[in-house]
């Protein structure tokens, strides 16, 4: 997420953090670098100007905190201004109304609207324990309704069946009646993708908005559109009076211009981030956490929330109990841990939330391969039950059979076994409460050679 911006800002701020004192000269030099980083990230020019002006004004007149170095104080100023630029605090959905709370989802074609509706439905069901109904009024795109029906089923929410021959306004009205009669807490309405310059389509969605009077009107914006996203948001806001934005495809956006510009230019808060294709990859937008990520400080709070919500607690407790009573850690246990890691988004996503990752060499980060967990899982799945429980019996002929079974090389099997051996050693040292030795043993858990396969 926003890799290019993070790299540029981290490098620039690292230079000033080593300064013994802040002067107008070194502040100006740093500001020039920050300006270039923001412009390259496609941040809107008015946002860049105000951001730099505020940082410089505060930094030059700053009574430097005695507990920090001047460079650290400057980084703190930059972080605070990033937070203010993106909205200062998280803005949640307003669901405190008589049910059903109607949420209208709008956006351009291809922005990820339909997927976002399903993600939001799952989020409301799991996090807020809401009974959710989703409906599609997209009568134009072939199979749009079928797509939402399938996605809603995967997300575990109910779908309102509609007919492409009906008018969008009628579908919206009928879905609202159904939501009222069947006591749904929330009704999510997916609209057709439309070009914001098309007056006919914009008038249609305005009519729908008037008829159903939604408590929330969310615009889905593709993060990769940069400053164009701001123009789109302004046009939709004039027609619909938006209450917030869902920023999609942030996992593919290395710049970050839309995230930094939308709130400042439109006045509308970003409420959610779409971080992947799966229906559980929707994150609440916290400006302070995103600011920390942009500056390479990580996002430990979000990482903890991921662990709490996506890790199987029953399996984890069983695993912890097994280790506590002294039972050996076998490849079945290892496979279960790999699956848990994949549930949390994989290696790249997890590492992106750890502090200091941006400071690692690019050569190392480029070797991080999301498919590494899948390859490791494939190797273990190619083993027999006996081999998983007793990996020490896996010798030459068995290794060749396992490699052929998963379509990889014998060297890959060897790396996995070596990796597993390192983990077993770490487990033994942890049982002896020798944390220092355990940390040393962890160094070989994911060898760079395996990552770069």
Binding site, annotated residues for GTP: 107-114, 190-194, 248-251
Of the candidates 413, 386, 375, 385, the one whose C-alpha atom is nearest the C-alpha of residue 397 is 413
Contact 150, 126 (CB under 8 A): no
Backbone dihedral region for residue 48 (phi beyond 0: left; psi -120 to 50: alpha; all else: beta) = alpha
Backbone dihedral region for residue 356 (phi beyond 0: left; psi -120 to 50: alpha; all else: beta) = left
Query: Long-range CB contacts (< 8 A, 24+ apart) of 31-38?
Result: 31/55, 31/56, 33/8, 34/9, 34/78, 36/8, 37/5, 37/8, 37/9, 37/12, 38/5, 38/260
Of the candidates 35, 29, 37, the one whose C-alpha atom is nearest the C-alpha of residue 10 is 37
Of the candidates 270, 185, 221, the one whose C-alpha atom is nearest the C-alpha of residue 106 is 221
Q: Considering only CA atoms, give the Rg of the chain.
A: 25
Please state the residue numbers annotated as binding site.
107-114, 190-194, 248-251
The C-alpha angle with vertex 235 and arms to 229 and 238, in degrees rounded to 5, equals 135
Contact 382, 405 (CB under 8 A): yes
What would the DSSP string read from start to end of 265-333? HH-PPEEEEE-SSSTT-EEE--HHHHHHHHTT---HHHHHHHHHHHS-HHHHHHHHHHHHTT----HHH
Backbone dihedral region for residue 386 (phi beyond 0: left; psi -120 to 50: alpha; all else: beta) = alpha
Contact 175, 135 (CB under 8 A): yes
């Amino acid at each position: 997420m926003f890799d290019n911006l993070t790299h540029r800002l981290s490098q620039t701020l690292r230079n000033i953090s080593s300064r013994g004192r802040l002067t107008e000269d070194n502040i100006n030099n740093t500001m020039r670098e920050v300006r270039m980083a923001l412009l390259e990230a496609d941040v809107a020019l008015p946002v860049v100007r105000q951001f730099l002006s505020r940082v410089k004004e505060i930094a030059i007149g700053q009574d430097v905190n005695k507990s920090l170095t001047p460079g650290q104080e400057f980084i703190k100023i930059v972080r605070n201004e990033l937070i203010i630029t993106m909205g200062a605090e998280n803005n949640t959905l307003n669901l405190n109304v008589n049910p059903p709370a109607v949420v209208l989802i709008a956006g351009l074609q291809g922005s990820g609207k339909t997927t976002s509706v399903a993600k939001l439905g799952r989020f409301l069901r799991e996090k807020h324990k809401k009974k959710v109904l989703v409906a599609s009024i997209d009568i134009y795109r072939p199979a749009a309704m079928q797509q939402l029906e399938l996605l809603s089923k995967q997300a575990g929410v109910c779908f309102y069946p509609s007919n492409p021959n009906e008018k969008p306004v009628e579908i919206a009205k009928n879905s609202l009646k159904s939501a009222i009669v069947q006591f749904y807490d929330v009704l999510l309405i997916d609209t057709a993708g439309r070009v914001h310059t098309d007056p006919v389509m914009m008038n249609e969605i305005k009519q729908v908005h008037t008829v159903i009077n939604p408590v929330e009107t969310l615009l889905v914006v593709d993060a990769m559109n940069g400053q164009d996203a701001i123009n789109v948001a302004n046009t939709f806001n004039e027609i619909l009076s938006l209450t917030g934005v869902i920023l999609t495809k942030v996992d593919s956006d290395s710049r970050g211009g839309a995230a930094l510009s939308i709130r400042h230019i439109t006045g509308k808060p970003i409420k959610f981030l779409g971080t992947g294709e799966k229906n559980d990859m929707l994150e609440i937008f916290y400006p302070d956490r995103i600011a920390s990520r942009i500056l390479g400080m990580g996002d430990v709070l979000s990482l903890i929330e991921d662990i709490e919500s996506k890790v199987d607690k029953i399996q984890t407790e069983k695993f912890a109990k097994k280790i506590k009573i002294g039972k050996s850690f076998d490849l079945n246990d290892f496979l279960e841990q790999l699956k848990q890691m994949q549930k949390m988004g994989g290696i790249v996503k997890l590492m992106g939330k750890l502090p200091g990752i941006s400071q690692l060499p690019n050569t190392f980060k480029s070797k991080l391969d999301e498919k590494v967990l899948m390859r490791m899982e494939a190797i273990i799945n190619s083993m027999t039950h006996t081999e998983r429980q007793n990996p020490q019996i896996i010798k030459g002929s068995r290794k060749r059979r396992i490699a052929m079974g998963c379509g990889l090389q014998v060297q890959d099997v060897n790396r996995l076994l070596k990796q597993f051996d390192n983990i077993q050693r770490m487990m033994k040292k942890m049982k002896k409460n020798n944390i220092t030795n355990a940390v040393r043993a962890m160094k070989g858990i994911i060898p760079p050679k395996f990552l770069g396969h």
